[in-house]
Amino acid sequence: MKFFLAILLLFSLLGGHADNEPPSETLTLTNVNVVDTRHGEIHRNVTVVIRHGRIEGIAKVGLIGQTHHIQVINAAGKYLIPGLWDMHVHSAGGPAKPWDDKVIFPLYIANGVTGIRDMGGDIKLVAQRRENIQKGELLGPHIFYAGPFLDGGKAQDYTVAVNTRAEAEHVVDILKRQGVDFIKVLSNLPRDAYFGVAEESKKQKLPFVGHVPESVGARDASSAGQKSIEHLSDILISCSLRETELRAQRVQAAQKGDNKAYHSAGMQALGSYDSAKAVRLFAQFAEKATWQVPTLIWWRTVSEMDDPNLAKDDRIRFVPAWTRKDWDPAKLRQQESPEEAADLKTIFHRYLEITRAMHRTDVPILAGTDSPDPYVFPGFALHDELELLVKAGLTPLQALQAATTGPALFFGDIGEYGVVEKGRVADLVVLDENPLEDIANTRKIDAVIVGGKYYPRKELDAMLERAAEIAAKDQ
């Protein structure tokens, strides 16, 4: 029966279109093992037919003849997964100025990252880049973006000052009209302004995400409808037996810009962490679908800034020359004392444990990296994150879901992305080996398919080399 259906499918592709329909190239992958990211199954030795940028059919099929309308790729038993999503990046500026799109976007595509959630930066630039990608003028990932950050205090580059409820309502309304996909909040947003953002975002039907302000706390943020919490922010304070006291200290330290006192309160929270309190909080996250984006690779990298080998990473050649100066480990290490460096290692290992506990409590988790922060390399870092999620207790399938089906569910686009199924957007990655056996196999990319266009390993390597050449000249 499956063979019969496949023959009908091929008949429709080869001769079933109207005479006045212009011919379109069809991509057909034969002898490929499809990874079912919903259920963790492998559908072996099937044929996948792609047309008009979407998957038109998947079935057991016999021989197919190649014509100038049909490109046939014998996958030779390789593994097909959905395109990956990095759910926390800054592709158009943010903490630093933007990278050239001819550098940063090839790094994503060559690593199989066909979608990104841009968490704050230059709204005009990211909107223009997305438009160029959608028009086919620029090769890059799908982009969902927030535009500027919302935070208390004074306005800065890429940050809008929001200090009252009225300001919050006004800014959210403006950003909605400017076309953002969600609202991003930072840690110093005043409590009243935060709830103004929450209420206006709900009214405007915009998700709001980001850090958890010290004045709010993770429990209240979840109750207010914050859709995702980044970097496990506020978790240590919210799970401390001394929460009230330490939260007050953190708020005061943040207001004074006293980083030492701020850090000290965080370490005291770590020392007074209560597992029973944590379980109750995580159960609330699970119940209210408050997604967590731990960015473990960011935490690990921050904790390794005292490692002299950090700057020897071969991937540094993809970093723009002007950025490499800012990434000087010696300069970065000067920002922290030896005691703080040791504390950051302790925090990173505790966050691995917290991610494991969240996972056991069925808290929804997304894979994000915070690239391109120092030594968090765009594209490459997502594979680092997937490995760290497995180290934190997720299975390879669950880590893969954090970058495929999870983002689709988060955006409400399970009908578009995240699975290799008929009708879905043909953003796909061909792997040499099975990622369900070893998550590190997501690095073993044989080809990437973006909107139905096939980029074999040779072209991906060429993309990377061009990006490295541009990065070297970018002063």
Give the CATH class of 84-411.
Answer: alpha beta
- Residue 4 has what pLDDT? 37
Question: Domain segments of the chain: what residues?
Answer: 2-82+419-457, 84-411
Backbone phi and psi for residue 172, each to the nearest 5 degrees, phi listed first = -60, -40
**Which among 348, 436, 439, 349 is positioned nearest to 386, based on CA atoms?**
439
Cross-strand partners of 160: 150
Give the mean model confidence (pLDDT) for residues 332-348.
Answer: 85
Segments in 292-337 forming alpha helices (H): 296-303, 321-326, 329-333
The phi, psi pair for 104, rounded to 5°, reads -70, -40
Q: What confidence score (pLDDT) does residue 11 get?
A: 37
Q: According to the model, what pLDDT value does residue 186 have?
A: 96
Is pLDDT above 60 for 13?
A: no
Cis previous bond, 372, omega within 30:
yes
Q: Note whether 79 and 429 are within 8 A (CB).
A: no
Q: What is the pLDDT of residue 250?
A: 94
Query: Could you tell me the pTM of the whole model?
Result: 0.94
Mean pLDDT of the 390-401 span: 98
CATH class for domain 2-82+419-457?
A: mainly beta
Task: Find the range with the poorest average confidence among 4-18, 113-127, 130-144, 167-181.
Answer: 4-18
Residue 362 pLDDT > 80, yes or no? yes
What pLDDT, in 10s, does the model give residues 418-466?
999 999 999 999 999 999 999 999 999 999 999 999 999 999 999 999 9
Q: Which of 18-22, 306-310, 321-325, 441-445 has the lowest mean pLDDT?
A: 18-22
Predicted confidence at residue 34, as pLDDT, reads 98
* Beta pairing partners, 67: 70
CA nearest neighbour of 290 among 353, 346, 216, 188: 216
Q: Quick one: pLDDT at residue 62?
A: 55
**Average confidence (pLDDT) over 18-22:** 39
Nearest to 278 by CA among 240, 222, 244: 240
Partnered with residue 229 across adjacent β-strands are 210, 292
CA-nearest of 51, 38, 27 to 81 is: 38
Which of 69-83, 296-310, 334-348, 354-368 comes out lowest in average pLDDT?
A: 334-348
Concatenated DSSP letters of 84-111:
EEEEEE-BTBSSSPPPPHHHHHHHHHHT
Residue-level pLDDT at 22: 40
Between residues 71 and 333, which one has the greater pLDDT? 71
Q: Is the pLDDT of residue 268 over 50?
A: yes
Q: Does residue 5 surpass a pLDDT of 60?
A: no
Rounded to an integer, what distance in angstroms lies between the CA atom of residue 466 and that of residue 118? 24
Please state the rounded mean pLDDT for residues 310-323.
94
pLDDT band at 134 (very low <50, low <70, confident <90, very high): very high
pLDDT at 414: 64
The model's confidence at residue 16, banded by pLDDT at 50, 70 and 90, is very low
Burial class (CB in 10 A: 0-12, 13-18, 19+), 72: middle
